[in-house]
Amino acid sequence: MLDLPDDFVKVLKSATRVAVLTGAGISAESGVPTFRGEEGLWKKFRAEELATVEAFITNPELVWEWYLWRRQLMADVKPNPGHYALVEMEEYYDNFTLITQNVDGLHRRAGSKNILELHGNIELNKCFNCGRPFVGEVNINAGAMPVCDCGGKIRPDVVWFGEMLPERAINGAFEASTGAELFFSVGTSALVHPAASMPVTAKQNGAYLIEINLEPTPLTDYCDFYIHGKSGEILPQIIERLTK
């Protein structure tokens, strides 16, 4: 069993406002493939060349081929015990916010509800022009790109390089960070802003700050408690301590 300090256990059991920030680390434990293709056509491109507004305007079919290929890779990937532990954590606390930098949709698949996806969700689509969500299958082999009622082309609902983060998600994330009594930073490098500043915001506003990661980060020395290891192993143990 994980050895947890008494001050952490006290906050863990008494807190009512909890926020969690997750990064690529939690998804890596599920075997989520990298953004860049390693075979065939995709060897010729970098993510920075395809995940842009300019690329979509110039060659929407190519961009869609890449995203449909990525979706196919994700089809067999499943949430891991870390994802499911966060579902249990949400059920325990009255006020719980899950903030994620991941676009893989694994938190949703696991059953988490109050999620703020800072970079969007690769499983969802929206209109390039008006931003309206598009529900339906994308089939670029049918000879025409899917279009919205407004006439705009349909695109993946993810944040591309050079784009602003969704206003609702970023505002909600900082609001949750500011109000949190307990804040978890899980599997994130703490290098990519603005997400990297959210744990700091939480700590500056009185939150007890926990980091779970395989490697120390710029955040580690600032934390109240750092746990080295896999979130899929550590989070279930924290839930067990929380609920017993």
Q: Which of 83, 107, 119, 228 is catalytic?
A: 119
Three-state secondary-structure class, residue 12: helix
- Which one-letter DSSP state was computed for residue 33? P
DSSP string, 63-83: HHHHHHHHHHHHTT----HHH
Q: Which residues contact 84 (CB under 8 A, 6 or more apart)?
A: 110, 111, 236
DSSP string, 176-238: HHHH-SEEEEES--S-STTTTHHHHHHHHTT-EEEEEESS--TTGGGSSEEEES-HHHHHHHH
CB distance 122 to 75 below 8 Å: no
Q: Hey, which residues does 180 pair with through a beta bridge?
A: none
Task: Give how far Cα 115 sits from Cα of 15, 26, 82, 199, Å.
Answer: 19, 15, 15, 16
How many angstroms separate the CA atoms of 123 and 116, rounded?
A: 15
Cis geometry, peptide bond prior to residue 194 (ω within 30 degrees of 0)? yes
Of the candidates 224, 53, 20, 204, which has an alpha carbon nearest to the alpha carbon of residue 128?
53
Active site residue 83: no
Catalytic residues: 119
